[in-house]
Chain A
Amino acid sequence: MKFSELMAQLKFLTPELVLCGCGIVVLFVELTKWRAKNLVNAAVCIWSFAAALVILWVQAHHQMHQVLFYDTYLLDPFVLSGKFLILVAGILTVLASTRYVEIHEVSLAEYLSFLTFSILGMFVFLSADDFLILFLGLELLSFPTYILTGIKVKNERSCEGAFKYLVMGAFSSAILLFGIGLIYGATQSTKLAAFTQAFAAPPQGSIFLLGVALLLTGFGFKLSLVPFHAWTPDAYEGAPTTITAFMSVTMKVAGFFVFIRVFSTLNTPVLADTIAVIALLSIIVGNFYGLVQENVKRLLAYSAIAHGGYIMLGFLDTAHRDEATYGMMFYLVNYLFMNMAALLVLVYLTTKDKYTETLSDLRGIGQKRPLLGLVMIVAMFSLAGLPPTPGFLAKFYVLKSAVQAGYIVTVVLALVSTILSLYYYAKILIVMYMEEEAAAAVVEKRPYAVAIAMAVAIAALFYLAIFPEQIFSMLLAAN
């Protein structure tokens, strides 16, 4: 393939290039002496994300299906929809971050450029059709998040969380790479197509299965599944709340989309049972440990572990792959907005004097600020999966796939542990509505950007609840 042809293929990568440009421009703007450079940076970011969103939309609308760069980079509607979701999460995060970052005296430009490059990494991760590119994408998305988790350098918790995340992340990346190596040894190719073909009928007693196990480990780390979840609570607690929101949502979206692509030909009952056990354990661990948490971010970290388990349950329906996939996609869309909404409430309430993250910080908020309380009510009950919130529909879809695959007992156990989660989501609401406010909180000026982000999230949740059919059609088209 000639160099000019390779360059011609770049035009399909416009969203990635836009992101790349954005990241660089932001850093250059930081070098200037403009007084409003933070605002400019935030604007640059939001506009570039929006531009990338539009380009993705157009590409998906035209049912683009391209394999680029020597069959290593795939663009198809499924992948494009994943990128779309990640960008939406990115825009909401940037909206929430501007004032928040100023409060914590972090350089906004560094923050935004790391964010942008992480998103770029997720794009590469999603589109990878070759294990090496997949690994490249994984590292590109992980490194900025390691840094972002610890970006509040003077905060002990932050450093601890970042350290644990970094060390465990490095280990899991290494294990993933080892797995890729073994699979290369077994299939003589790093291409994903070769892997999926071999995975459909795995050769017994070969290093292929060992490679698959190591691959699962790597993915399990990123998706916060048991037993690879130990970094999640500390990292989520230590990270700035906006980054917690970003990480919890986008890593799941990226991770699950790629998981679906990589393991799409799952056929062996033993492996399916293993995944079922992992999913069930994630649900149970996430729901149990969340019960005793005092810190809301830690609580939501355990809830993230549990939700990862639920989504994984949807994967088990190997006979009806399409339906299962868009059940999982629907769940991810829902999870994006409900987790964002919950964490954005915390961001809204954070001021220079009060860093809102524990349950006692939230006391009485529901009574003093009804709209904020309403956002939290919708978010909490949606996370718990209670009708009429869209979270219920998502759970229903995913559990229906699991039941169709025959995993009734697993579903029953998962539902039993859902009760536990209902308790800790209700606990947040109890603290907000049924206890008196400790001290009057003063918010100097309303963080309108955060309010807009919350409004978008809640509006999306309402739309998902009332018109799920439109979303299903969109997801189906993306499949």
Chain B
Amino acid sequence: MRESLLTITIFAPLAVAILLALIPRERRKLMEWGSLVFAIVIFAMALCLFCGFDPQKREFQFIDTFSWIPRLGISFAVGLDGISLLLFTLTAFLMPIVVLASWTQIHKLINEYYAMLFVMETAMLGTFATTNLFIFFIFWEMMLIPMFFLIGVWGSENRVYAAVKFILYTAIGSLMMLAAILYLYVEHHHQFGTWSAAFGDLYRLELPGRTQLYLFLAFALAFAIKVPMFPFHTWLPDAHVQAPTAGSVILAGVLLKMGTYGFIRLAMPLFPAGLQMCLPYLIALSVIAIVYGALVCYIQADMKKLIAYSSISHMGYVMLGLLVLNQQSVEGAVIQMVNHGISTGGLFLLVGAIYQRYHTREIIAYGGMAKVLPKYSAIFLIVTLSSIGLPLTNGFIGEFLILLGTFRYGYDLYASSPCIFVYVPAVLAASGMILSALYMLWLVERVLFGELKDHQHHHDVKDLSVAEVLYFTPIVVLIFWIGVYPMYFLNKASASIAAFISMMQG
């Protein structure tokens, strides 16, 4: 039992989904409490894995293998290394929060909703934990179905459009990746004589440069759409705005990380030559995402859309950190993935909470909320500062490490190509920090401070309820924990990151 803890944790949400589907529709409280309890139990299991992880080892831990289709060399293989451990635990961490936030916000087809959430959790956990390309693809695509329904059934006015856009856009990238996976799979058979889709086996493939370029582009397309990198980001604002709060939190908190995780785990190590050929363009796109994402935030009238574009900007940082490929920047990227999940997840929860009360997401409809909702405003401010990257909050750690790494990349590059332009990515990325501070603080000023707008029902709007305090507390705690003592988290990942970098350079 102990050895299969990882597999059990991955499939437990699926079992819970089936269980929840059997609860009769009328027993709403049972459904909600049941979901919460199970989500916490699954998080506890993930915590066991987190604490039981040995930071010294470089290779995968908690490995579990089931032979599924021996004829095709496809076995259900899972294992966690430092990077996937952090993302795995983040996913399990966000679920109870999302479930609790959904209690007051979802009113129709409740059975299906919680079932979809848990199916989604299995798909996300599986994607991060698997070490077999075929299984990775299965879990990767598996998350499309629940997300499609989450946005399309429980979302806002334009939800069908957003859901269709999401699923088609993401699917086209995935199907291109499938073509590349098929090629890799057959190529492995050509070169080694056996059928296998395990990561370790595929890393050993020898591929000519041109082929690597095409395959890299296919994989990179799928992941770039997910991250999202500019210019494949256009599905994100619609999906985020139209999704229900829980959907937005999961989308921002976990799904976007799957894209960057795909880069670390697959696109980059499998095709180093392809990566090298595309590197300048990818770095350029990341920097564009940082600056463009930040600039577009200024003109947004809808709070959720603003946060969506800020997501694009933040993920630009993460991609930059990954592409630059040194120990600091990749550590910064990995921790920033976790941070972004926490802080942007928190921001979406905050928007959801205020939408609950006033039923509008328009920024101009708000003003002086600090007078009416003091506790809410305090948390809003803390999460904002985390998103900006204020020192002592988690955002600072990630952004600083990434910028350090990017400057160092420029510095190392200057030796071989003495041109001042090698520092351009770093400088522009640093400017992104200022821009993000500007738009977020402006948002805070417009919404929380200033004159109270003329709403009829300010007096019966309550400040944070017990449930809301309960689900914001872990977020705030983590913001400061990672901000003050990040080594606890970074230590788990550094050995794996070092292994990744030496594999990329070797």
Interface set of A (CB-CB < 8 Å, partner B): 367, 370, 377, 381, 386-388, 392, 396-397, 399-400, 403-404, 408, 411-412, 415-416, 418-419, 422-423, 426, 429-430, 433-434, 468-469, 472, 476
Contact = CB atoms under 8 A, between A and B. Distances in A.
Contacts of B148: 426, 429
Contact of B179 (A388, A404, A415, A433): A415
B153 interface: yes
Chain B CB within 10 Å — which of A387, A397, A412, A422 has the most?
Answer: A387
B109 A367 contact: yes
A408 B215 CA distance: 12
B186 interface: yes
Contact of A403 (B141, B159, B182): B182
Contacts of A367: 108-109
A430 B152 contact: yes
Interface stretch (B48-56, B64-72, B225-233): B64-72
B144 A386 contact: yes
A433 B144 contact: no
A412 B179 CA distance: 6
B145 A381 contact: yes
A327 to B, nearest CB: 10
B239 to A, nearest CB: 15
Contacts of B111: 370
A422 B138 CA distance: 16
Chain B CB within 10 Å — which of A377, A415, A469 has the most?
Answer: A415
Contacts of A411: 179, 182
A419 B168 contact: yes
Given A367-B109, A388-B142, A404-B186, A434 B68 contact: no
Contacts of A370: 21, 111-112
B172 A386 contact: no
12 contacts: A388-B139, A388-B142, A392-B138, A400-B185, A403-B182, A411-B179, A415-B176, A419-B168, A419-B172, A423-B164, A426-B168, A469-B68
Chain A CB within 10 Å — which of B112, B149, B175 has the most?
Answer: B175
A363 to B, nearest CB: 13
B160 interface: yes
Contact of B145 (A386, A415, A468): A386
The 4 closest A-B pairs by CB, nearest first: A387-B138, A415-B175, A387-B141, A403-B182
Interface of B: 21, 68-72, 108-109, 111-112, 134, 137-142, 144-145, 148-149, 152-153, 159-160, 163-164, 167-168, 171-172, 175-176, 178-179, 182-183, 185-186, 189
Given A422-B168, A469-B68, A396 B152 contact: no
A381 B142 CA distance: 10
Contacts of A392: 138, 141
A267 B71 CA distance: 26
Contact of A469 (B69, B153, B167): B69
Contact of B175 (A403, A419, A423, A433): A419
B352 to A, nearest CB: 21
Chain A contact residues: helix, strand, loop or mixed:
helix
A146 to B, nearest CB: 38
A434 B176 contact: no
Nearest to B122: A388
Contacts of B168: 419, 422-423, 426
A408 B187 CA distance: 12
Contacts of B134: 396
Contacts of B142: 386-388
Nearest to A433: B153
A416 B164 contact: no
Given A400-B182, A412-B179, A472 B109 contact: no
B149 A433 contact: yes
Contact of B186 (A388, A400, A422, A469): A400
A300 to B, nearest CB: 20
B441 to A, nearest CB: 38
Given A387-B138, A404-B189, A468-B68, 20 more contacts: A370-B112, A392-B141, A396-B178, A399-B178, A399-B179, A403-B183, A403-B185, A403-B186, A404-B186, A411-B179, A415-B175, A415-B179, A419-B168, A426-B164, A430-B163, A433-B152, A434-B153, A434-B163, A469-B69, A472-B69
Nearest to A427: B164
A387 B159 contact: no
A412 B178 CA distance: 9
A390 to B, nearest CB: 11
B171 to A, nearest CB: 5
A434 B175 contact: no
B313 to A, nearest CB: 28
A430 B137 contact: no
A292 to B, nearest CB: 15
Contacts of A412: 176, 179
Contact of A419 (B140, B163, B171, B185): B171
A411 B181 CA distance: 12
